[in-house]
């Protein structure tokens, strides 16, 4: 969802500050025209075909939410501004070439398709940069990718792009998929969101990219003989090892598993590709990791073989590159949500270190940090309370919970004191739209690592005001 989209020249997905529900309404007007046809595979529909005529326009600047498609995400303005501060600049066709190239893509389409598409965008830009000669003639590409963008870049690197790539920096990329994707595709959009929920669920199930977010690791729990030791009572299967998954097409599940298997085959055979990777991940948050399946639905679990390993509330900790242990020192962890990783100050500092060449990156030693877990519903109905639960590992000082609207106006602020390591706040009378919930500390003697969440207050009445009828 991180790229704006236009259909036949008219913007159909373009959230802007203060207008998330209006953007959803605009998207809703075109939702059936954006649904992809069965059998689209790794192709792109023609301009006059169903789902065709769509072009990516720009990276999403502001908060964007499509319930049931993926996680609410803040935009990429902060990341681009940070890269500008590091000296990276976009080029101008009429002027000097640039060394910063934002690449929007049609996130509905297959990651294979978008990976192949990168060649026609990146390689001419790299040649123009190299043509300056001197120190530039051997320049290579450094990718900075958030979420699914890392899968697109991995495909490009594994299929011809490795020779001109120096680094792959990923922020919350699901290297082995995410169990949440199964839950969203099977269960669909929460009921109570009018006809739009059904239309959005149909759209999600038509997207090759949504299937390519399914977990490739063994994630389906099946009970073994209860006489066995507790650790062996649960058997884990891959999605392509179970007979069926409710609502999902078996052929598309198998293709998604092949997508990951093909990537890992190439990466495991090429040490240089593995050395390019620099995964930056979210941690400590309650994250769906495994599932159980019944005849008609699935149940998302926050544990892996009974252990809570956490993640960024969207991508679980087990979705690291295959074969890398969770405590590997090359993996950098940040206690924050998936939708805020690209705005996290500590993570941005790490990007500086990752992309710098020949420059010493000096940092002050950090103060001790209390890493917190924050539970906030991603969607509530207008008129409902918004609960915020914060786990602080036994800390006793109050924490600060601030709710702001989409354009940064503070709506409410509370400073609950933890009881047995847990602090709880409740916010009432929030207006329709997206809200940012920031959790920080109040005591300068112990620094609480900030965690930022996004919650959407849904209102059919507000959507109707923008022309989307139930």
Buried b / exposed e over 112-136, threshold 16 CB at 10 Å, is: bbbbbbbeeebeebbeebbeeeeee
Domains recognised in the chain with CATH numbers: 1-363 (no CATH), 369-465 (2.60.40.1930)
- 291-338 confidence digits (pLDDT tens): 999 888 999 999 999 999 999 999 999 999 999 999 999 999 999 999
What gap in Å lies between CA 470 and CA 457, rounded to an integer? 16
Q: Is 177 exposed, middle or buried (0-12, 13-18, 19+ CB in 10 A)?
A: buried
What gap in Å lies between CA 110 and CA 113, rounded to an integer? 5
Residue 374: the pLDDT is 98
- 222-244 confidence digits (pLDDT tens): 977 555 555 566 899 999 999 99
Residue 234: the pLDDT is 82
Residue 446: the pLDDT is 77
What gap in Å lies between CA 73 and CA 344, rounded to an integer? 12
What gap in Å lies between CA 183 and CA 301, rounded to an integer? 10
Q: DSSP letter string over 289-331?
A: -EEEE-SS-EEEES-BTTB---BSSSSBTT-SSTT--TT-TTS
Low-confidence ranges of the chain (pLDDT < 50): none
Residue 191: the pLDDT is 64
309 Cβ contact list (under 8 Å, min separation 6): 287, 289, 303, 316, 317, 318, 326
Predicted model pTM: 0.95
What gap in Å lies between CA 378 and CA 463, rounded to an integer? 18
Residue 465: the pLDDT is 87
Q: What is the phi/psi pair of residue 165, to 5°?
A: -110, 135
Residue 149: the pLDDT is 98
380: left (phi over 0), alpha (psi -120 to 50) or beta: beta
- Give CA angle at 321 (362, 165), nearest 5°: 60
């Amino acid at each position: 969802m991180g790229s704006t989209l236009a259909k036949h020249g008219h913007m159909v997905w373009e959230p802007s500050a203060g207008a998330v529900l209006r953007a959803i309404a605009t998207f809703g007007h075109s939702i059936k025209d954006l649904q992809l046809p069965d059998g689209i595979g790794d192709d792109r529909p023609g301009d006059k075909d169903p789902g065709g005529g769509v072009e990516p326009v720009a990276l999403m600047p502001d908060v964007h939410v499509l319930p049931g498609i993926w996680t609410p995400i803040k935009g990429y303005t902060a990341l681009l501004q940070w890269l500008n501060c590091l000296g990276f600049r976009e080029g101008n066709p009429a002027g000097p070439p640039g060394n910063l190239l934002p690449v929007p893509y049609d996130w509905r389409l297959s990651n294979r398709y978008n990976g192949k598409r990168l060649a026609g965008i990146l390689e001419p830009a790299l040649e123009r940069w190299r043509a300056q000669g001197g120190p530039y003639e051997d320049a290579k590409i450094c990718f900075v990718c958030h979420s699914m963008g890392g899968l697109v870049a991995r495909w490009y690197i594994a299929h011809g792009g490795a020779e001109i790539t120096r680094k792959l920096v990923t922020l919350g990329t699901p290297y082995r998929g995410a169990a949440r994707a199964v839950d969203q595709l099977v269960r669909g959009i929460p009921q109570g969101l009018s006809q739009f929920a059904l239309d959005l669920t149909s759209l999600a199930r038509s997207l090759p990219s949504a299937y390519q977010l399914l977990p490739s690791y063994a994630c389906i729990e099946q009970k073994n003989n209860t006489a066995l030791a507790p650790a062996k009572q649960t058997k884990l299967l891959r999605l392509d090892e179970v007979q069926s998954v409710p609502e999902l097409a078996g052929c598309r599940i198998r293709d998604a598993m092949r997508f990951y298997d093909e990537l890992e085959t190439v990466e495991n055979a090429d040490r240089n590709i593995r050395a390019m990777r620099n995964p930056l991940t979210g941690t400590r948050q309650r994250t769906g990791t495994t599932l159980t399946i019944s005849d008609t639905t699935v149940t998302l679990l926050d544990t892996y073989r009974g252990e809570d390993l956490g993640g960024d509330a969207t991508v679980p900790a087990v979705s690291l590159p295959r074969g890398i242990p969770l405590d590997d020192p090359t993996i950098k962890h940040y206690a924050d949500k998936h939708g805020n990783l690209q705005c996290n100050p500590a993570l941005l500092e790490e990007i500086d270190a990752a992309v710098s060449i020949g420059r010493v990156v000096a940092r002050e030693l950090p103060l001790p940090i209390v890493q917190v877990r924050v539970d906030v519903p991603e969607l509530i109905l207008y008129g409902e309370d918004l609960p915020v639960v914060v786990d602080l590992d036994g800390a006793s000082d109050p924490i600060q919970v601030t709710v702001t609207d989409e354009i940064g106006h503070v709506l409410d602020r509370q400073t609950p004191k933890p009881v047995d390591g847990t602090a709880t706040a409740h916010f009432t009378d929030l207006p329709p739209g997206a809200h940012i919930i920031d959790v920080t500390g109040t005591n300068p003697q112990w620094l609480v690592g900030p965690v930022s969440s996004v919650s959407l207050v849904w209102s059919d009445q507000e959507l109707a005001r923008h022309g989307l009828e139930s």
